[in-house]
């Protein structure tokens, strides 16, 4: 029976994939035998990359083991971890390690050559501290194909013949072209269309017919009520699934349609990281990134999405291992010059919109091919700074602040709420006052929209002011895992930030839907006593309380006043000061709204 392609549903977080790779490095060049497959899974648990959560199995551990797993400050020895792993009593314990390895192999970060574990050049790039998440996954998806000689999941004889990522770019392009011929707006494909048609596009020869199907389906839905559209769409999905699977089995059809939603959502999440697709239409449509139009146009001409053939598995593994392959169709002086020209035009528009002095650049026509590549990177970084400045200017408008408030109050209604929370906090901090720079550390597309949350080894947001500095850490976690994931890392990020910028006092704003008692207690120790020998300035706020700050800001602006950063940090100091007179951290947190109310009265607006 036919099956769709899937990126991975077991590891939805690309940052977690990197952690899997970091652990695997301990076994680099070792034999990938049953012993090391089992050992790899144990090491994942030991380094707390793979956890059991609050499952039934978790409850079968001894209290001593539970306490050890729960206490993130304690190291777990290999022997202790092995005992924890053995509680599960797996029939095939090595299989767990093989399953954990599979996504790393699929993405081309690891290959097994001569039965040894080899981290590829792409994998080594991912392990670097300065890794570029977008570049990593673009390079990976350029090569990912079904079928391939390192997997038996798909076979050419069964009709599988495609590079899924390249195929999706082709499909979106075809749909846009057909829409324009019908004199309709080219808008990419909807999330629902993506989930149905993209994972089931398993042969490059079907790209045009799939584009026709999407256009025909849109025609059937046009002019109908929402209820009528839902009936038509549900009926269409069942017929489509029946034809794809080649079966009338209702259970199989329902299973496929359920899986396609997960596969589609996950593929969008990962493909978005490449910066070659972007989200438009209020988050409902996936389109080709117009700021990469030169690259996409040449990529589509260069690669028809057909899977590449290899004479042997060894040749395939050599290809996957070589980061220089394939050479990108725009990696020549002519195309790189064209990209540079387009970027410079884009930059001039931003400079004009935000009224900044035009920056003078090198004469790109005199640059070599390698110099042009670096020049393009510099241009994109500078454009992001201009986009950040534009965000700051827009954030000063009352209507924009009201929009941030509304989205924060309804944060649980959004799909990618963790990413959205980081974005909204960044915009909210821009709105509050006269910051020199608010620097979110999440990766972005060329539209400056976040593609994922900030990496684990950096603060979520860095804030620079004339008289102070700060970081902001955010999370959507509310249970005890909030403490697991945020307690020590937040204090460590703040200490590193304090050491890096020693010329000014440094603070940390921590924002979550609600604050878990263990998180509060951890921060309380650092605030009242010490972390690594010195006290820290951490201000934990719920999203609701942060929203109150934005509402006060709206009041201030309506009265024609301005909130300076000195006044905001005066509030932070007042919140910290109240901790000195209290012995209970929970009472301190409860008292923060009262402190804000008192501070508001002192502003005299």
Measured over all CA atoms, what is the biggest interatomic distance in the chain, rounded to whole angstroms? 78
Hey, CA dihedral for 290, 295, 301, 305, is it positive or negative? negative
Tokens 């046009």 -> residue: 222
- Report pLDDT for 31: 96
Who wins on pLDDT, 276 or 453?
A: 276
- Name the band, by pLDDT with cuts 50, 70 and 90, for residue 10: low
3-class SS of residue 463: strand
Distances (CA, A) of 73 to 76, 466, 516: 10, 36, 17
Buried (b) or exposed (e) across 527-553, using 16+ Cβ within 10 A? bbeebeeeebbbbbbbbebbbbbbebb
Cβ atoms 74, 64 nearer than 8 A: no
pLDDT of residue 160: 95
Question: Has residue 567 got a pLDDT over 70?
Answer: yes
Percentage of the chain surpassing pLDDT 90? 71
438 vs 582, more confident:
438
pLDDT score recorded for residue 368: 94
DSSP 298-360: HHHHH--SPPPP-SSHHHHHHHHH-TT-SPPTT-SHHHHHHHHHHHHHHHHHHHHHTT-PPPP
At residue 181's C-alpha, the angle toward residues 178 and 187, to 5°, is 55
- Residue 86 pLDDT: 87
CA nearest neighbour of 102 among 171, 170, 182, 17: 17
The overall average pLDDT reported for the chain is 91
Residue 167: both structure tokens together: 């195929």
Where does the pLDDT of residue 63 fall: very low under 50, low under 70, confident under 90, or very high at 90 and above?
Answer: confident
Q: What pLDDT is attached to residue 60? A: 75
Helices 34-46 + 14-24 axis angle, to 10: 120
What's 155-198 look like in SS3?
CHHHCCEECHHHHHHHHHHHHHHHHHHCCCCCCCEEHHHHHHHC
- The two tokens of residue 433 are 């006052």
The whole-number pLDDT of residue 152 equals 83
* 196 against 85, higher pLDDT: 196
Predicted confidence band of residue 553 (pLDDT cuts 50, 70, 90): very high
Question: What does the pLDDT read at residue 431?
Answer: 93
CB atoms near residue 188 (< 10 Å): 23
Rounded to 10 degrees, the C-alpha dihedral 547/551/554/555 comes to: -160
Per-residue pLDDT band at 295 (split at 50, 70, 90): very high
Q: Hey, is 451 helix, strand or coil?
A: coil
- pLDDT at residue 138 is higher than 90: yes
**Alpha carbon distance 357, 351 (integer Å):** 7
Express each pLDDT in 436-492 by its tens digit: 999 999 999 999 999 888 887 899 999 999 999 999 999 998 887 788 788 888 999
pLDDT band at 362 (very low <50, low <70, confident <90, very high): confident
Mean pLDDT of 10-39: 90
What's the rounded mean pLDDT across residues 566-582? 92
CA distance 148 to 313: 9
pLDDT at 52: 57
Average pLDDT over residues 316-327: 87
CA distance 132 to 120: 16
- For 145-174, what is each residue's pLDDT tens digit? 999 888 888 899 999 999 999 999 999 999
Task: Check whether 102 has a pLDDT greater than 70.
Answer: yes
DSSP assignments along 201-213, one per residue: --BGGGHHHHHHH
Mean pLDDT of the 406-418 span: 90
Q: Taking 80 as the threshold, does the pLDDT of residue 57 lie above it?
A: no
Burial class from Cβ neighbours inside 10 Å (0-12, 13-18, 19+) for residue 209 reads: exposed
Q: How far is CA 412 from the centre of its chain?
A: 18
Cβ–Cβ < 8 Å for 340, 375: yes
pLDDT digits 0-9 by tens, 253-270: 999 999 999 999 999 989
Do the beta carbons of residue 270 and residue 13 sit within 8 Å?
no
pLDDT score at 168: 97
Burial degree of 512 (CB within 10 A; 0-12, 13-18, 19+) = buried
Q: Give the number of other CB atoms < 10 A from CB of residue 515.
A: 22
Q: Tell me, what's the pLDDT at 9?
A: 63
């Amino acid at each position: 029976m036919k099956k769709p392609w899937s990126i991975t549903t077991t590891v939805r977080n690309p940052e977690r994939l990197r952690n899997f790779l970091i652990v695997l490095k301990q076994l680099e060049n070792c034999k990938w035998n049953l012993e090391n497959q089992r050992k790899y899974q144990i090491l994942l648990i030991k380094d707390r990359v793979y956890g059991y959560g609050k499952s039934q199995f978790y409850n079968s551990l001894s209290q001593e083991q539970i306490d050890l797993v729960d206490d993130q400050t304690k190291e777990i020895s290999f022997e202790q971890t092995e005992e924890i792993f053995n509680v599960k009593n797996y029939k095939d314990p090595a299989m767990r390690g093989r399953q954990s390895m599979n996504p790393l192999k699929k993405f081309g970060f690891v290959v097994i050559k001569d039965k040894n574990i080899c981290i590829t050049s792409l994998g080594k790039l991912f392990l670097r501290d300065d890794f570029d998440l977008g570049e990593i996954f673009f390079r990976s998806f350029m090569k990912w194909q079904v079928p391939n000689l390192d997997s038996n999941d798909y076979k050419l004889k069964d009709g599988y013949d495609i590079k899924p990522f390249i195929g999706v770019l082709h499909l979106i392009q075809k749909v846009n072209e057909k829409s324009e011929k019908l004199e309709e707006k080219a808008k990419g494909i909807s999330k629902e269309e993506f989930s149905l048609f993209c994972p089931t596009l398993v042969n490059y020869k079907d790209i045009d017919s799939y584009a026709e199907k999407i256009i025909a389906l849109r025609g059937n839905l046009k002019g109908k009520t929402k209820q009528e559209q839902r009936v038509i769409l549900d009926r269409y999905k069942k017929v489509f699934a029946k034809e794809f699977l080649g079966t009338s089995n209702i259970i199989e059809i329902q299973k496929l349609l359920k899986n396609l939603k997960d596969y589609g959502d996950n593929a969008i999440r990962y493909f978005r990281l490449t910066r070659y697709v972007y989200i438009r239409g209020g988050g409902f449509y996936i389109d080709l990134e117009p700021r990469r139009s030169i690259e996409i146009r040449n990529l589509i001409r260069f690669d028809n999405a057909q899977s590449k053939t290899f004479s042997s598995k060894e040749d395939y593994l050599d290809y996957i291992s070589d980061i220089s392959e394939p050479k990108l169709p725009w990696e020549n002086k002519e195309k790189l010059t064209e990209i540079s020209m387009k970027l410079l035009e884009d930059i001039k528009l931003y400079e004009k919109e935000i009224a900044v002095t035009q920056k003078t650049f090198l004469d790109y026509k005199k640059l070599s091919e390698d110099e042009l590549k670096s020049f393009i990177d510099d241009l994109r970084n500078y454009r992001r700074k201009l986009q950040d400045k534009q965000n700051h200017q827009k954030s000063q408008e009352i209507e924009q602040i009201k929009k941030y408030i509304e989205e924060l109050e309804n944060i649980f209604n959004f799909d990618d709420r963790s990413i959205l929370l980081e974005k909204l906090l960044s915009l909210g901090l821009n709105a509050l006052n006269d910051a020199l720079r608010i620097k979110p550390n999440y990766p972005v597309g060329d539209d400056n929209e976040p593609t994922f949350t900030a990496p684990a080894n950096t603060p979520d947001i860095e804030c620079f002011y004339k008289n102070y500095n700060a970081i902001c850490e955010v999370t959507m976690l509310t249970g005890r895992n909030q403490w697991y994931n945020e307690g020590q890392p937040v204090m460590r990020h703040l200490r590193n930030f304090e050491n890096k910028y020693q010329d000014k006092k440094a603070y940390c704003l921590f924002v979550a839907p609600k604050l878990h008692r263990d998180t509060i207690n951890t921060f309380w120790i650092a605030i009242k006593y010490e972390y690594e020998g010195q006290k820290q300035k951490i201000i934990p706020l719920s999203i609701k309380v942060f929203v109150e700050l934005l509402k006060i800001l709206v009041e201030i602006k309506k009265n024609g006043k301005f909130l300076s950063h000195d006044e905001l940090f005066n509030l932070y100091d007042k919140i910290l000061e109240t901790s000195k007179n209290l012995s209970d951290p929970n009472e301190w947190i409860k008292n923060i709204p009262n402190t804000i109310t008192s501070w508001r009265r002192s502003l005299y607006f």
